Every structure is written in structure tokens, then in C-alpha cells.
Amino acid sequence: MIDKTVADNRLLHGGDYNPDQWLDYPEILKDDLRLMKLAKANTFTLGVFAWSALEPTEGEFQFDWLDERIEAIYQMGGRVILATPSGARPAWMSKKYPEVLRTTENRMKMLHGGRHNHCFSSPIYREKVAIINRKLAERYGNHPALLMWHISNEYSGDCHCELCQDNFRNWLKKKYGTLDKLNHAWWGPFWSHTITDWLEVESPSSIGESMVHGLNLDWKRFVTDQTIDFYKHEIVPLREISPSIPITTNFMADTHDLIPFQSLNYSEFAKHVDIVSWDCYPAWHNDWEETKDLAAKVGFINDLYRSLKQQPFLIMESTPSGVNWHDVNKTKRPGMHLLSSMQFIAHGSDSVLYFQWRKSRGSSEKFHGAVVDHDNSETNRVFQEVSAVGGALEKIAEVKGTHKQARVAIVYDWENNWALNDAQGFSDSTKQYPQTLQKHYQSFWKKDISVDIVTLNQELASYDLVIAPMLYMMSLDTISKLENYVANGGTLVSSYISGLVNETDLAHLSGWPATLKRIFGIDVKETDTLYPKDRNTLTYNGKQYEIKDYCTIFERKEANILATYMEDFYQENPAVVENCYGKGKAYFIGARTEQAFLDDFYEELQKEGNLDSEREILHKEGVSVQRRDSAECYYLFVMNFTEQKQAVTLKESFFDLLTQEIKQEQIELLPYEVRVLKREK
């Protein structure tokens, strides 16, 4: 029986610990333990890239150093997350078995180097992984320090070697059965691309086929399935030998805009892990957005990863200061470390873990932020702020395992994102599907209304409001799921560029799907893509709002018109409508508007659905309040994401877990200050 909770009643604090880099420095290893206690760190992830230390030559295993470290951490009262080492392999393996190396999309065989670049099909790599994973499980699977398994590291990428091509063809055979079906789904006759033998199928390539959208989509689906298959192969010995230890693998985000990682469909992957964990590296204090706007994006992505399993998740990696791979690697300003760490917890994380415990001395990450710097000092600012986070996590430990409850859901669909990005039409630079969802999310984040970011695999019925903008790819099943949701009383919002193609990226025939016409009470006719400098305007409730990028031209059937276009040949045509359907309601936003429109539009829906009735804390924009619930009480994280002091009004009295005082009426938050307030139900 797998224990799906982390068997530790503390919020986890610590992170990636790489003693294998320091085996020649015994005094450093000794000092680590002293510093770990001072940092109030309790959990360490070992072995992530340790294969060459664990198996320096083929078949010769060295575990003494790991035995010693795990025991030392345990004796100190700490716990261990143990990684399988497949994220990077020793040089001897690449040299002896070149099959383990990846082939790129332009059919170039890689040399040894870097990491995250093995072939997922290679029988030899799979065999080597099975051997080392079994050894780790046999040796540590029942060690009392072991909290969790961490499989590989940030799975990503694809391999285009002959073994992978064969696997892809078999995957396609299983999916389509016949070439006729495959050719239909891929629209084969276009440019004479009809396939007459399975062996003619090749993965997408810049030196070959890249324009067949159905092929591109299937390749991405295959890569997700193949990665999950590799992961499932990795965990066989772990499940067998340590069935009660939960298993995770660390997910990631695409940087800059902090949008969901693109190349793997995490909604599929999440089904196979016991706990979702992920690595979060926002560019705080950047020069392109305000702190509060970035904070909302951090909220969005954490809510997405939390919603994948609708249970607390883990932050597996974050940085105590700066990273080394942003364009500019700015360090966190005083106070930001505590605030941003508490934000993880506020959105449902049960951990604040770092990459990495000690800064490497050499190679590419020697200047990446870490808890312990090259000065090995506990007095520097970063270490002090980390230990303050450790102290705060101890004070709020009772939050662990509590849940977030949301009545609003925003739909994020990985496959839709793939298909939409591939679509040649619209505008490459302005599609921005995930960024668009972030904007819709902002209108709720500003009001402290909890939101789940759900995928189409999930049930919608429990939500009062479901927001599904830019759902370009809609299968008939998706359409009927949305129809049921509205017919049974739900409120649905959709937008421009929705419902245009089916699940194999073929356009729906006979215009916009008939069911969508009925739900929204309109008939979509055209999508006008604007140049970046073009603008239009809509009027809504007597106010005017700017429009850019996309305008849908549609005919109203049964719907009520809420807003109309003011310019261009579709002037006075409807831009936003509302339609009663069954027991519910559906809204269609035809154009990409400025944020103020979304805020005002959703304010109406929030009032109508009584969605912000529970607000007990009043504040100005830039302060965020997030709630977690246990059966007996609830916790409000009040976070100031501005560079100014903020006055905050409490409508009830609360117990402040960080200061251990009762707080009521007015409180003042310093720049970047956070409070964790508790109240009995």
C-alpha cells in the first residue's frame, strides 16, 4: 500500500544536496551538518546526478559515501529524498554503449556531455537504470531516513534514433490500426504526403517533415507516453522493494513568463506520480513587470500543478538568491525570500526546497544561488534569510496537508497548446495561450478568489464557474463535456480562437460546431488577426476598452449582446455575449481585451455567483491573500507583493502564527512582508 502523504509532520525545508562533489573535502562534509541545523533544514535530496560516484566503472558500485551521508542526516533528525541517477550518465557508459546517446531531430548523433540527453528507447540504458535503481532500493528502500523517491531529474526532450522511430511507428499502429485511418487523421493527400507503408513514417524533422500538424501532434503525444513509460520502468524495483515510499519526479516551467512546461503533457504524467513536485524559479525584481504581476503568474502555475492531483504538492527546487541561467541573474532583495517561500505554501505546497544546499566550486553552476556560499558562512544575508524561512516553516507546520478549495476553474490543456502553436494562421508572436490564461487568472488573484487550473481530464461539475479561453482544439467529447456542464447549471466562459479543430487537428466541417452554436447562442464566422500596432475598441456597460491581436466576427442567434465593436468593418457587431443554456449560462469573449475589461467583466460574474462573499481581508492591489483549509480551521496568507507599506483591514480577528499574537482591525505590512493568520471555523 503506497502512503500518498509525506510521512513527516514537518513542512519540508532543505533541498538538493550533492556531497558527491565534495568527497575530497571531509571538513566541508562535516560542516554541512552543523550548517544544516542552523538553517533549520530537515530534508535533503541526494543522488540526483551521482551516477559516476555510485558506479565509477561498469559494475563496480560504491555506496559507502551515500551510506555515511544518509545516516548522518538521519542522526541529525533529518530525512532524505533519494533520487535515481538517470538524469546524467557516466562517461564510460556513453563510450562503451553509444546507443544510450540521443539523436537530435536533424538526425545528428550526440556526443557524451551535458545531462538529460539519453535515449528513452535504448534497451542498454534501460537495463543500466534498472540495475542501479534496484541496488538503491535494496540498500536504502527500508532506511528510516527515506521519505520519498525522486525519479531522475526534470525529464525532457526527445530522441530520433532508429529505436525511437520503431517505437513511434508501433505507437501509431496501436493508435490508428490502419494506414487509411492515419492518412485521414494527418490529411495525407496534402502535398502528396500519403503514407503507404508504416516504415515511411519518420518523426518530425527540420530536414524532413515538419508541416503535417497531425504528425507533429502525435509525436508530442508519443514523447509524453514514451517518457512516462521510461519513468514506469525506473520505478519497478522501487515499488517492489519499498512499496510504502511515495514517488515523485520534478516537473518544471518554461522560464521568463513562468508558463507551464511545454514539451510534456504533465496532466498525463501526474497520473503516475504519488505527489506532484516541481522546480520554481521566478525572475523576481525583473525590469519588465511589476512584482505583483509576476506574483500572480507564480500563483497561476502553482495552482496548476496543485490542481493536477488536487492535493498538496512540493516545491522540489527554488533558489535562495539568484539563479545562473536567467538573462540577468539578480539576487532576491531582503524579505523576498521569506515572502516567495510563503507564497509556495499559500498555494498548496508542503515544502520549500532549494537547488542547491552548497554552491558548487566549479563548472557551470558555481555561481548559482545556494544556501551555503563559497564563504562557508552562516552569517551572510542569504544564509540568514534561509534560516528565517526554516524558522517560519516550523511555526506554521500545522498547515501541512491542508487543502485549497476553489469554486472557479480555468482550463489549461497541453495538447491544445501544442496544436495552437503549430497552427499556421493567426500570428505566431501573439497567440500566447498560457499567457492569456494568466491574464484571466489575474482578475481572480487580485480579489483573493481561489482558482483551480484544471485540465480536460478533470471533472468540472463541482465548479460554479469554468473559464476556457482559446480552446482551439476541441474534440466532440470535449464539446459534449462543456455542454453537460452548462446544461446542468454551470457558468462557462470561452473566447476567440476556440472550437476550430478536432483532436487530430482537422478543422471542424460545416462551420463552428453545432453544439457550440447552441451553448453560446452565436455562430462564429471569422477570426480577424490584427498587426501588433492595430487597435480596436469595445463598449461594455457604458465604458470603452482597448482590443488588440484578435477579433472574432460572429452572428448573434439567441445570445444577449454585452459588448460591441466600435471600429472597422465589423463596427457595431457583437464582441461579447451571454447566453442562457439549460440550467446554466455561457459567455463568449470575442476579442483580446486590455486587462481592465477582464477585471470588470469578471467582477460582474463574481457578484452574480457570490464568489467573493468570503473576503475577510481588505487591501489595495498588490497584496494577495490565499487560503488553505483544514477541517477545524483555515489559514490566510497575507502577502505584500509591493515595494510600499500596505494598510490591510481585517474584518475578523485572527491568530498570527508567525508573531504568535492576535491580530484585528488594521495591520500594516512592510514591503514584501507576509503574515500567516489562523481562524477556527
Contact flag: residue 20 with ligand GAL (CB under 6 A):
no
Q: Do 500 and 471 meet the contact criterion of CB atoms below 8 Å apart?
A: no
Contacts 24+ apart (CB under 8 A), 532-535: 532/427, 532/429, 532/430
If the CB atoms of residues 4 and 366 are measured against ligand GAL, the closer one turns out to be: 366
Q: Which three cell numbers stand for residue 470?
A: 482559446
Q: Which three cell numbers stand for residue 642?
A: 509591493
Contact flag: residue 355 with ligand GAL (CB under 6 A):
yes
If the CB atoms of residues 154 and 274 are measured against ligand GAL, the closer one turns out to be: 154
If the CB atoms of residues 114 and 334 are measured against ligand GAL, the closer one turns out to be: 114
If the CB atoms of residues 222 and 251 are measured against ligand GAL, the closer one turns out to be: 251
If the CB atoms of residues 365 and 603 are measured against ligand GAL, the closer one turns out to be: 365
CA dist., res. 611 & res. 464, Å (int)? 9
Q: Pick one of 158, 225, 317, 415: the residue that binds ligand GAL (CB under 6 A).
A: 317
CA dist., res. 449 & res. 452, Å (int)? 10
CA dist., res. 656 & res. 584, Å (int)? 41
The HSE-up count of residue 117 (CA atoms within 13 Å, CB side) is: 18
Does residue 119 have a known ligand-binding role? yes
- In whole angstroms, how far apart are CA 443 and each of 94, 190, 320, 468, 595? 51, 43, 29, 14, 8
Q: Do 307 and 458 meet the contact criterion of CB atoms below 8 Å apart?
A: yes
If the CB atoms of residues 49 and 587 are measured against ligand GAL, the closer one turns out to be: 49
608 is catalytic: no
Min. distance of Cβ 639 from ligand GAL in angstroms? 23
Which residues in 175-202 are b (16+ Cβ under 10 Å) and which e? ebeebeebbebbbbeeeebebeeeeebb
Per-residue binder mask for ligand GAL (CB under 6 A), 233-262, x = binder? -------------------x----------
Does residue 153 have a known ligand-binding role? yes
Min. distance of Cβ 228 from ligand GAL in angstroms? 19
Does residue 325 have a known ligand-binding role? yes
Per-residue binder mask for ligand GAL (CB under 6 A), 196-235, x = binder? ----------------------------------------
Whether residue 356 has a cis bond before it, omega within 30° of 0: yes
If the CB atoms of residues 183 and 360 are measured against ligand GAL, the closer one turns out to be: 360
Taking the CA atoms of residue 393, residue 396, residue 398 and residue 404 in that order, the dihedral angle to the nearest 10 degrees is -100
Q: What is the 3-state secondary structure (H, E, C) of 81-100?
A: EEECCCCCCCHHHHHHCHHH
154 is catalytic: yes
If the CB atoms of residues 234 and 317 are measured against ligand GAL, the closer one turns out to be: 317
Does residue 115 have a known ligand-binding role? yes
If the CB atoms of residues 52 and 205 are measured against ligand GAL, the closer one turns out to be: 52
Min. distance of Cβ 250 from ligand GAL in angstroms? 6
CA dist., res. 79 & res. 82, Å (int)? 10
Q: How many CB atoms lie within 10 A of CB 542?
A: 5
| Residue of 154, 268, 385, 503 marked active site | 154
**Contacts with ligand GAL in 632-661 (CB under 6 A)?**
none
Min. distance of Cβ 72 from ligand GAL in angstroms? 23
Backbone dihedral angles phi then psi of residue 139, each to the nearest 5 degrees: -80, -40
Does residue 161 have a known ligand-binding role? yes
Min. distance of Cβ 317 from ligand GAL in angstroms? 6
Q: Pick one of 368, 447, 508, 678: the residue that binds ligand GAL (CB under 6 A).
A: 368
Find the residue with minimal CB distance to ligand GAL. Answer: 355
CA dist., res. 613 & res. 11, Å (int)? 31
**Contacts with ligand GAL in 265-294 (CB under 6 A)?**
279, 281
Block residue for cell numbers 500570428: 427
| Residue of 55, 317, 503, 578 marked active site | 317
Using DSSP's 3-state secondary structure scheme, residue 580 falls into strand
Q: How many CB atoms lie within 10 A of CB 325?
A: 11
- How deeply is 95 buried, as exposed, middle or buried, from its count of CB atoms within 10 A (0-12, 13-18, 19+)? exposed
Per-residue binder mask for ligand GAL (CB under 6 A), 420-459, x = binder? ----------------------------------------
Min. distance of Cβ 492 from ligand GAL in angstroms? 36
Does residue 186 have a known ligand-binding role? no
Min. distance of Cβ 269 from ligand GAL in angstroms? 16
CA dist., res. 603 & res. 561, Å (int)? 18
Min. distance of Cβ 364 from ligand GAL in angstroms? 8
Does residue 164 have a known ligand-binding role? yes
Block residue for cell numbers 498547515: 399
From the list 365, 281, 278, 389, the residue with the least C-alpha distance to 331 is 281
- In whole angstroms, how far apart are CA 341 and each of 152, 281, 336? 24, 11, 8
Applying CB under 6 A, the site for ligand GAL has a residue count of 10
Contact flag: residue 153 with ligand GAL (CB under 6 A):
yes
Min. distance of Cβ 229 from ligand GAL in angstroms? 21
Catalytic machinery residues: 154, 317
Q: Would you tell me which residues interact with ligand GAL (CB under 6 A)?
A: 153-154, 252, 279, 281, 317, 323, 355, 365, 368
Q: Show binding-site residues.
A: 115, 119, 153, 159, 161, 164, 325
Q: Show binding-site residues for substrate.
A: 115, 153, 325
Q: Show binding-site residues for Zn(2+).
A: 119, 159, 161, 164
